[in-house]
Chain A
Amino acid sequence: MAIDDYKSIGFMCGIEIHQRLATSTKLFCSCTAEISGKGREIGRIRRRQRAVAGELGKVDRSAEFEEERERDFTYRVFRGNSCLVDVDEEPPHEMSMEALRIALPIARAMGMRVVDELQPMRKGVVDGSDPSAFQRTVLVAMDGSITVNGK
């Protein structure tokens, strides 16, 4: 398919970049952010997760599908790396200011508009990848641009 074909159907595409920050702690607790593998395993926790209506108000179809599979998940807990916040037994602590101090200059460098007030929220994931069945996420800044090859 020639490049013009994509143009004719109005195709647009974006990229999503995930970058872990080398902060001294995790974003919402005081555990080390390092995956060292040095911590001793101090226990295992077994959990089941079910589909619930998230903050978007609807039960996510993929979430329902995961639940129908009746999977349970075993989490290994390591000294230093996982605390009660990680295993969903304690509410989150204050957001890491260190992380925010990294995010804000990056936003500025790309000419982005920083929001007036940060709103941490939950993004449901019931594939077992997080013991709480959601990721805690915050939109810090929007828009902006990067110049690539003069464009």
Chain B
Amino acid sequence: MYSEPIARALESGGISSGDVVLFESEKQRVEGELMPKTEVGRPDTLVIKLGNGYNVGVRYAKGAKLKLVKKGTGVPKFPVADAKSKQGLPKVTLVYIGGTIGSKIDYKTGGVHMLIKPGELLYEVPELAEIANLEIKNPFSIDSADISYYEWQTVAKEVASAFGGGARGVVITMGTDAMHYTSAALSFMLKDLNGPVVITGAQRSSDRGSSDAFFNLKCAVKLAAESDIGEIGICMHRTSSDDECMLTRGTRARKMHTSRRDAFRPINDRPIAFVDEKLRIRYNSDYSKAVDRKEARTTSHTKFEPKVALIQSHPNFDPEIIDLYARKGYRGIIIEGTGLGNIPGSTQHKDMLWMSHLEGAMKKGIVIGMTSQCLYGRVNSNVYRLLRLISNLGVVYCEDMLPETALVKLSWLLGNHTPEEARRMLPVQIAREIKDRSETDEFLV
């Protein structure tokens, strides 16, 4: 936000970002294009792009003057490529819900332009025209961290309607932060997939020449257009190099790095498939096949109970927090226990004992599931006496399921079933989120 004097000067001069302005103060005289204000920097400073391309910050002190020299041209027209359908190519529906792949930033005005027309996207990534005929949907655009079950419901319906409309596959582009929650939610919400649903995005934004967006998108569209996979998967870089992408199962994926291209890893699972730089698909593990649309059409089941919490057990945790969730009307809790699924249950510090609080919550009908903060491996209530006690109380041990997946699954179960049914189904596989065998090559993949 600008300081008041700047805001006034801009208003009275009819000046906005992208206009050519002349700034004069005692100290300096600067002419150039006014750049958009970002959150970084002082509110009493204007950013001006000089003729040489460099940006400078000028302080709007007392006596400073700002004049309009020339109005800018506004957001430029973005070039469009030919987007005629090509015979013989499969139809892929691209659902944009955020992230930088489907948008362009205009640096002069700071405006974000969504590339809604296939031609606009094809201009940016012309290779896509050789892979599929694209149909583009943009139900909303959201910062991935803001996503909630409301948006998942919309996307699930959008996917079902895309298959209903004859799409061979669906690609969803979004920001990466909550991508694995989204992939898990869609895995439970969608039944009888008639084709692959591939979620992709970029760890390095698409406004840089080195962005991973382009290769990720090409690989995702290729998988959606040609593979016979009937699952939700996340398609991102396999390594830091631009030579291979990896499809990770939606209920097994986790963002394991804040910024690297290869942040998304399968946990307790192997990648479903790889796509190399020549866009050749190589299947790597067992997967569910797409359902023939003559047999069944894809349906969405989007009811969802948001009042489910994810809590992590750690030293010094105050178990009264559990009572708080109970008082707030929560219907489910997933615990990320330590190790095999442990919580402080035998400490001599009475105020740190969890047992009575868990019991109280379950008496109120709250379903409680146990996962592990180790992420890798399986919880097991039979190894230690204490874990047997926790399990005997009624806490459901969730096998090798990821905590975030368990959170989404319990919310979905409670939205569609009675608490008793939800409790019974929580440790039972429905979307490949649980396996009864753990193989040796599924660790640190």
A residues bordering B, Cβ < 8 Å?
Answer: 45-53, 55-57, 63, 67, 72, 84, 87-91, 113, 115-119, 121-124, 126, 131-134, 137, 139, 142
Contacts and interface: CB of A to CB of B under 8 A. Distances in A.
A119 B41 CA distance: 9
21 contacts: A50-B214, A51-B209, A52-B206, A52-B209, A55-B53, A56-B53, A56-B107, A72-B242, A84-B259, A84-B260, A87-B240, A88-B208, A88-B210, A89-B203, A116-B56, A117-B45, A119-B57, A122-B208, A123-B53, A132-B208, A133-B208
A89 B260 contact: yes
Contact of B107 (A57, A87, A131, A137): A57
A63 B107 contact: no
Contact of A91 (B42, B56, B215, B259): B259
A48 B215 CA distance: 9
B400 to A, nearest CB: 29
Interface string B291-302: 000000000000
B27 interface: yes
Given A49-B210, A139-B55, 18 more contacts: A46-B241, A50-B209, A57-B108, A88-B204, A88-B208, A89-B203, A89-B204, A89-B259, A89-B261, A90-B258, A113-B28, A116-B57, A117-B41, A117-B47, A117-B57, A119-B41, A123-B53, A132-B204
Q: Chain B: interface secondary structure?
A: loop
A140 to B, nearest CB: 10
Nearest to B76: A57
Interface string B272-314: 0000010000000000000000000000000000000000000
B89 interface: no
Interface in B57-78: 57-59, 76
Contacts of A121: 54-55
Nearest to A59: B79
Contact of B56 (A63, A131, A139): A139
Contacts of B50: 139
Contacts, number: 99
Which 3 residue pairs spanning A and B have beta carbons closest together?
A: A117-B57, A133-B209, A119-B55
Contacts of A134: 208-209
B243 interface: yes
B161 interface: no
B210 A131 contact: yes
A50 B41 CA distance: 31
A84 B206 CA distance: 18
B141 interface: no
Contacts of A142: 56
- Of residues A117, A126, A133, A137, which shows the largest number of chain B Cβ atoms within 10 Å of its Cβ? A117
B242 A53 contact: no
B210 A133 contact: yes
Nearest to A49: B209
A98 to B, nearest CB: 21
B191 interface: no
Contacts of A123: 53
Given A46-B242, A57-B107, A121-B54, A113 B208 contact: no
B106 interface: yes
Nearest to B104: A53
A89 B259 CA distance: 6
Contacts of A72: 242
